[in-house]
Chain A
Amino acid sequence: MQRPWLTDRIVLSTLVILLLVVWVLSLRFGAIAISGSDILLSIRQHILQEESDLTGRIFFDIRFPRALECLVVGASLAMSGVLMQALFRNPIVEPGLIGTSSGAAFGASIYFVLGATLHFPPGEWGLPVAACTGGTVATLLVFVLSRNRQSGKSSVISLLLTGIAINALFLSGVGFSSYIARDPQARSITFWNLGTLSGASWSSVTVISITTILCALAALRHTRQLNALMMGEEEARLLGVDIRRLQWTVMGINVLLVAVATAFVGVISFVGLIVPHLLRMTRGSDNRFLLISSALLGAIVVTLADLVARLVLAPAELPIGVVLSLVGVPVFIVLLRRTQTYF
């Protein structure tokens, strides 16, 4: 199936157009449909600081930040998929594979249970900090435990296997937390584990945007080294790449991207897996191209999935994780069967 690849410009401009279309749709539709003129009115009222009606407030306080949060969450999850796959030189590596997601989930579930029992003041930052801490601890554990005692290096296989073990540990921790939790907490743990953007607010959008943009800039500085890594660690070293430093830096970027997004929207899987796959088929694997285009396509996918999650049972909502799994699993299996040359 050797088709000539598309050019960067065609792929990127298609993605930008698609993103605009999808994003406008996600602003318009939801529990209530808001017309284009109402959207413009609401924005104008807000800029002029006039009193706005209910529709205007729904748009500006709920719909708009949620649509923005879809963009940044999608971008950060997809980029973290690209980074992990490049680092492990394996296209089926998922960001959650090295413990980040399960660690973040565990941190959050501990927060839910202990927060309710000990009555400590939760505040706005309690949940994200707990999730980030959990994600960092789990990732560090995987990284440190998989290191070979003699050579001080981590082989990919030992990293992946340690990741499986640590994931199992932290996920059983999540299970235990929801087992001992009272009903309302157990419910929020469950909902959070399936992922949802219903909690989007201006403050969470700001935090995720800042980390996503900083991480993206940092990641773009390492795309050449990650390309060289495709030939293996030895070859990359011969091209002047400090492998150890690259591993730590990319791991750090990945933890930030995944843990911060996970902290606010819960565990959302498959984005980091499917998005880079699709893009590799259009234009190959140059990591600079992949990072930029994955950010765009990740935003498109999450926005679309969230739109579906809002519309199917409207005015009730589905967790976005359910939507993404229902769509993502078949797509992933088709991809696996079609592109076996990559494995």
Chain B
Amino acid sequence: MLVASNLTVRVGQKELLKDVSVQFEAGQLNLVIGPNGAGKSTLIKALSGQVKPAAGSIRMHDRPLTEWSLGELARHRAVLSQNIDLAFPLTVQEVVMMGRYPHFQNKPGEKDHLAVQESMHYFDVSELSGRNYLTLSGGEKQRVHFARVAAQLWYQDGDVPRHLLLDEPLTFLDVYHQFQFMHHIRELMGKGNWVVVGVVHDLNLAARFGDNLVLLHNGAVLAQGQPREVLTAHNVSQAYHLTPTVHYHEGVLQLVF
């Protein structure tokens, strides 16, 4: 479980997050939504420890985030950031292997090779294995990073849940790969003890796949809970200044603007 209590993040005079309290449980797909500048990425960065909060605290697996060492964190928590690029050419396989770096000392073990192979297969990038990462398309690069963060959590010891933080994982993906990715994440979560928090922009996708939604607006939580509680016409129009009509198609909530 990943819990943020009364989190405030400041950059200079500007408050990016104001007194945010949220709770992300294992086994649920937690999705963070909200308009541009609402503080979604800041929340992910605070949860991953990349940004230090001015006030409030974060607990990961019932331990304050500040008590985890860098290495420990890297073994139990993977983060997919936005706009990652490489300064130098590497093969796709070498990029995915980076996910295993926290797990071995000098040479990758059998488990590490297996994790790389399996996660590459899982996210459909096996045939890119020997390609130069820098020559891939945006969508291909994104899938390589899926495989990398999956490999990071693929095999691990102990009963600490795997924490996966995704900052806008669906950018650069076509509709097919967006759905494919959401299905894959759900499938992974079914296999073990995962805490997944993702930022998405597409509200209908959030409604369809999310178990628990957090709607941020101006750095504060506007609503959180199940999709039908969060994605009401009232909440959405308050956050986005657009009033949708809410439909249900075969039990799935749909917003039409």
Q: Interface residues, chain A, CB within 8 Å of chain B? A: 2, 4-5, 85-86, 89-91, 221, 224-225, 227-228, 230-232, 234-235, 237-242, 280, 284-286, 341-342
Contact = CB atoms under 8 A, between A and B. Distances in A.
A218 to B, nearest CB: 13
Contact of B102 (A89, A234, A240, A284): A240
B89 A239 contact: no
Given A234-B50, A235-B81, A238-B79, A91 B88 contact: yes
Interface of B: 48, 50, 70-71, 73-75, 78-79, 81, 84-91, 94, 98-99, 101-102, 106, 130, 132, 134-135, 152
Given A234-B81, A240-B101, A280 B88 contact: yes
Contacts of B94: 227, 284, 286
A239 B84 contact: no
Contacts of A5: 91, 130, 132
A231 B98 contact: yes
Given A2-B135, A341-B134, A240 B90 contact: no
A285 B50 contact: no
A284 B98 contact: no
Contacts of B81: 234-235, 238
B102 A230 contact: no
Contacts of A242: 70
Contact of A228 (B89, B98, B135): B98
Given A240-B101, A240-B102, A242-B70, A342 B89 contact: yes
A108 B75 CA distance: 48
A284 B90 contact: yes
B70 A230 contact: no
A239 B130 contact: no
Contacts of A231: 84-86, 98
Q: Report which residue of B85, B88, B106 has the largest number of chain A beta carbons within 10 angstroms of its beta carbon.
A: B88
A5 B92 CA distance: 12
